Structure formats: C-alpha cells, structure tokens
Amino acid sequence: MSCVFCGGAPVTKEHVFPQWLNDYLPPGRQQTEQARYGEGAYDKTRQSVGLDFTVKKVCAPCNNGWMSQMEVASKDVLAPLITRQNLDFITLRQQRQIALWATKTAMMADQVQHKPLLPPQQLRRMHTHQAIPGGTRVWIGACPQREPLVTSHTVRVHLTGVSAPGNPQKVGFYCPMKIGHLCIYVYFPAADVVIQHAREFHLSVARIWPRRSSDLPFPPPVQPRNGEAFEHFADALQQSLYLYTPEEAAEHGLQES
C-alpha cells in the first residue's frame, strides 16, 4: 500500500486526531467510540488511554513532515476555542488555518471508512500545496459542554438535482466533529454548487471557508447543549442544506449562506 497523500512507501500508522489533544483529557483510561459508516459499518466502544484512532495509509515523511508542521501551526489557533467559551474574534488568517486543519482531519476520518469517498487528487493537492479542495465548505460553531473531548462521524451524501442528465449521481462527503467546546462541520459537495442552509442555523454556525470578508465573532449565540445534542444538530444541519447549480443561483439572485 502506498501513501494516500504522496504515493510513497512504506506506510505507517497516523492518528486521525492529533496527539496534542490528549493534553486536554483527564488522566486514566477513557471510554472512546469509533464509528464507521457505509459498507462494513460498525460502532465500537472501548477503553483506551488517549486518542488512539489510527489509520495505516500515510508514509513517515508525510506524517512527520508537512502534517506535523500543520499541527504545530494550528494548535495555538485551536486551543483557545477548544478549552473555553470566552468571546473571541477569529481573524481571516485564523479562519483559513482552522479550515485547513479541519479539512486535513476530515480527510483522515474518510480514510477510516471501508471505501473512502474523497478523490485521490484532492489528497495529493493537500500534500503538494496544503490547499483546501475547491468547493469545500467549512462552518464552525460551539458547544457549552466540553466533554466528550472528541466526537465525529462521516456521512455519504447523495447530491440530487445537481447532476447533468445521463450522468451518474454525484456523491458528497460530510464530516462534523466536536473537539472540546469547538464544533466544526466540513462538507465536500463533489459538484459546483451554491449552498444555503435553513434560517434556524444562522445563529448557530458561521462559514469560515470560503472565508468571510471580516473577522468573525465566536462563539455563536445559539449552541447544541451537549455532545449528544451536537450529533443530532450536525445531522440536521446537513439535511437542511439547499444546493443550487450556479445557473439556478444566478437566475434567482441567490447568494451563499
């Protein structure tokens, strides 16, 4: 097997969620859950020391090189949002760093699946340019309950109404994750679309990629109350998304949420 990012070999184990997050876990063994969706699906709960979800699809040069550098560059931006609920203003530079980290982490979560959904060229471009794939959307929100420290899942999304006649239905990929107080929602729609979400989510999430034109106040005023509510909220957000082709959006004067 070759590295999903650069094609190199051999591959080593890489953590889906970075080990520096263990600094925020209480001592001792934790109940952790790993979920796989689609073909070969399972939910597995077990005790572990620290975040030990790994995937053996990344080579050591990628693991110890650009991926490690991205974690170092992201930690100072992410840590205050993970650990506290004070009002902050997230700058445009910070918005990009959070979105880049979230995209890389979602890519790793996708690799845990029996059949990963993201196309190989998107992973290669993440390696060569640290570039967020075109069309990717990233929103952030918050949760008052810090524990569980990390929860996430992945969803295969069938895009209806955006495929040309005679073409196969396009498939998108959605990965919401709660990391302490910080909630992130990453969506790869796999098609050129304009996205709006239902009005009830406007006070709960804010888009950070593509970036807004100004600094972003955080946290938002409306939040899922705990980790379980986050999972229901994340699914409801995805199901509320309205997708329009660029032509439809232009015809009706619609703008991205």
Q: Using the predicted structure, report yes or no on whether residue 82 has a pLDDT greater than 70.
A: yes
Chain centroid offset of residue 233 CA: 15
In the chain, domain spans: 11-252
* Burial class of 249 by CB neighbour count within 10 A (0 to 12, 13 to 18, 19+): middle
Q: How many CA atoms lie within 13 A of 156 on its CB side?
A: 14
Question: What whole-number distance in Å separates Cα of residue 171 and Cα of residue 148?
Answer: 30
Q: Is 83 helix (H, G, I), strand (E, B) or coil?
A: helix
Q: Is 36 helix (H, G, I), strand (E, B) or coil?
A: strand
Per-residue pLDDT at 166:
58
Segment 107-154, tens digit of pLDDT: 998 998 878 889 899 999 999 999 899 899 999 999 999 888 888 888
Task: Give the mean pLDDT of 6-20.
Answer: 90
